Structure 1
Amino acid sequence: MTETASAPTAPVAPQAIRAWLVDRVAYYLERNPADVDEGTQLAEMGLDSVYALTLCGDVEDHFGLVVEPTLAWDHPTIDAITAHLAAELRQSQGGVPR
Structure 2
Amino acid sequence: MTATQSQSDTRIPTDIADWLTERVASYLDTDADSIDRDLPLAEYGLDSVYALSLCGDIEDTLGLVVEPTLAWDYPTVTAMAEFLRAEVGA
d(CA) in 2 for partners of 1:74, 1:7: 29
Q: Which runs of 4+ in 1 moved over 4 A?
A: none
Where structure 2 has 5 or more consecutive residues not aligned to the other structure, the ranges are 1-5
The Cα shift of 1:46 comes to: 1.2
Do the aligned partners of 1:7 and 1:89 also contact (CA within 8 Å) in 2? no
Do the aligned partners of 1:7 and 1:65 also contact (CA within 8 Å) in 2? no
Counterparts of 1:24-43 in structure 2, within 5 Å, are 24-43=23-42
Matched, 1:18 2:17: yes
What amino acid sits opposite 1:47 in the alignment?
Answer: L
TM-score by length of structure 1 reads 0.79
Alignment: residue pair count? 84
TM-score by length of structure 2 reads 0.85
**% identity of equivalent residues:** 52
What amino acid sits opposite 2:85 in the alignment?
Answer: A
Where structure 1 has 5 or more consecutive residues not aligned to the other structure, the ranges are 1-5, 92-98
Q: Secondary structure at the match of 1:65?
A: coil
Q: Secondary structure at the match of 1:23?
A: helix
Which structure: greater strand fraction? 1
Which structure: greater helix fraction? 2
d(CA) in 1 for partners of 2:17, 2:9: 19
What amino acid sits opposite 1:40 in the alignment?
Answer: L
Structure with bigger RCO (C-alpha 8 Å, 6+ apart): 1
